[in-house]
Amino acid sequence: MHKGTLAIAAAAALVLGGLAAGGCESPAPKSETYTSEVEGFALTFPSDWTKSTSGRGMNLEIMPPDMTDPGVFRDDIIVRVEGLAEVMPLEDFAAVKIDKVAKNVPGYKEITKDAVKVGGQDVRRLIFSYTNPNYDASVTSLTYFLVSGKRGYTVTANAATERFPARKAQFEEILGTFKLLGATSAFPSTAPAAAPAAGGK
């Protein structure tokens, strides 16, 4: 074979080899972890989600990047931390919260309720639907309840009901990263379930 032909063949092999080695691999998705020692929890989520700690009864709110239209219900995940007057069993905390949601949220309909383990933690899980009057929209919520000492945690993933099936797997993946860090700092005591588990937007 001619030397020039050999050189071209070698160059082609290098290019194709590079494509085979790296061209088929997609970069690992980037993530961000919100950690608060004061609030006693950590949550990992995609880095392109919008994060807010502005309050309004929410310690943390994260929102997927496609939720930019203020005229429609915006899917999100909300974390609420409540100081409890005394240590409360998880089952009791969840029962109080669920009762308040059922009474105060328009069109409440329970879909499923059970006990699960998330990252080795005991969790009470509730999936329910309701009507958000601000947008006249049916919303489905996946909610986890947890307790650590004199703190109660409500972690809720909300989506318009028609989008919930497409969101559910990612919601579960994100909620599965929720970690309790322990009551390492003082936290103000509040009445349990001061606000419903669903995002009151």
Q: Does residue 192 form part of some domain?
A: no
Look at the pTM and tell me if it is higher than 0.75.
yes
- Do residues 157 and 178 touch, judged by C-beta distance below 8 A? no
Angstrom distance (rounded) from CA 113 to CA 98 = 10
Q: Does residue 2 form part of some domain?
A: no
Number of domains in the chain: 1
Task: Note the pLDDT of residue 27.
Answer: 59
Q: Does residue 93 form part of some domain?
A: yes
Tens digit of each residue's pLDDT (9 = 90 or more) over 7-27: 444 443 333 343 334 445 555
For 62, the domain range is: 29-180
Q: What is the mean pLDDT of residues 78-94?
A: 96
Tens digit of each residue's pLDDT (9 = 90 or more) over 24-36: 555 556 999 999 9
Q: Tell me the CATH number at 34.
A: 3.40.1000.10
Tens digit of each residue's pLDDT (9 = 90 or more) over 134-189: 999 999 999 999 999 999 999 999 999 999 999 999 999 999 999 999 754 444 44
Task: Note the pLDDT of residue 37.
Answer: 92
Task: Note the pLDDT of residue 25.
Answer: 56
Task: Note the pLDDT of residue 55.
Answer: 74
Q: Does residue 164 form part of some domain?
A: yes
Q: What is the mean pLDDT of residues 107-136?
A: 95
Q: What is the mean pLDDT of residues 73-88?
A: 96
